[in-house]
Amino acid sequence: DANLRMISFQFDADFLGDMMGPPASARLLEGVLSDDVLCQVTSFLSVRDMGRIARCSKLARKLCVNDEAGWKDRCERLWSKKSFIPSHARELLYQRRPMEAYRFSIEDGANRQSLHDEELCYDPNSQIGTVWDFRFKETAGPEWTAVDPWWAGGKARKMIFLKNGLVKQLMSHPDGSKSLIPPFSSPTASDQRHPHSSDIEMKWRYVAQPMDLPIREKGSYIRLTVDGRDVPTYLVHRSPTGDWSFVLESCWGVFSSSE
């Protein structure tokens, strides 16, 4: 309510305005306000402000660190805007360690440029996993851009990576059902512009070190094989959108996580 908001404002303002001496906020902590009320106060504050208050006193730090409900809420609000949440962060939250979960997910989203299996792959039975938007680059050549709906002004193909090493195209139907078709097939026979698009097989695998790139952790490079022939390696990196989604990119094509 308004009173809690006022206390919250005073809590931070006193701390910032009196760095050299004991701020009024410290005196509030010494038995004047209950832990429950203080936790409600901190729920209005940003993570940055929580860090400032934690430097106020040992008791303030304890309250900020142990505010389980508050940190759980911060995790939920942060993660609701992100595409990929690391499984370890969810495990920490399940273990009732929400502040650690929040911190781990932030660091993971900022630093990890590699995919785990559950982030790359899709399970057709449970319909759980990542669906990728795919388009060719112009450098792939006219033979391939000619069968790419994106180059014809349409939507990018929806592609999935299966755990058995195959890559398929995911088709959604008006009745809500979904089916898998070869990666470069078109839903209608009249749109088959590539003579072999209906039976082209695509496979994927991880590679540790492509010839012209440095060694990185597993999941940093994806090698695709099209009809038994390797194509240029796809480099994994985070999307510049800041939503923790991934992009797989080579000199011939781009996959971006869409679901």
| pLDDT tens-place string over residues 174-232 | 998 899 999 988 765 445 555 556 678 999 999 988 878 888 999 999 999 999 999 99
Q: How far is CA 150 from CA 112, 168, 205, 254, 258, in A?
A: 29, 17, 25, 12, 15
- Owner of token pair 């509030």: 28
pLDDT at 64: 75
Q: How far apart are CA 116 and CA 87, in angstroms?
A: 10
Average pLDDT across the chain, whole number: 82
Q: Is the dihedral of CA 198, 227, 133, 131 positive or negative?
A: positive
Q: Please give the residue that has the higher pLDDT: either 150 or 63.
A: 150
pLDDT at 159: 97
pTM for this structure? 0.78
Comparing 32-46, 86-100, 115-129, 138-152, which segment has the lowest mean pLDDT? Answer: 32-46
Radius of gyration of the chain from its Cα atoms, rounded to whole angstroms: 25
pLDDT at 258: 66
pLDDT at 38: 65
Whether residue 54 has pLDDT greater than 70: yes
Q: Dmax of the chain from CA atoms?
A: 79
Other residues' Cβ atoms within 10 Å of the Cβ of residue 147: 22
Comparing 2-6, 188-192, 247-251, which segment has the lowest mean pLDDT? Answer: 2-6
Whether residue 108 has pLDDT greater than 90: yes
> Confidence band (pLDDT; 50, 70, 90) for 66?
confident
pLDDT at 19: 36
Q: How far apart are CA 167 and CA 187, in angstroms?
A: 17
Whether residue 23 has pLDDT greater than 70: no
pLDDT at 190: 45
- Owner of token pair 């990542």: 130
Rounded mean pLDDT of 130-148? Answer: 94
Burial of 185 (0-12, 13-18, 19+ CB in 10 A): buried
Q: Among the residues of the chain, which ranges form H helices?
A: 2-17, 24-29, 35-42, 47-54, 58-65, 68-79, 87-94, 98-111, 117-120, 142-145
Please tell me whether residue 189 adopts helix, strand or coil conformation.
helix
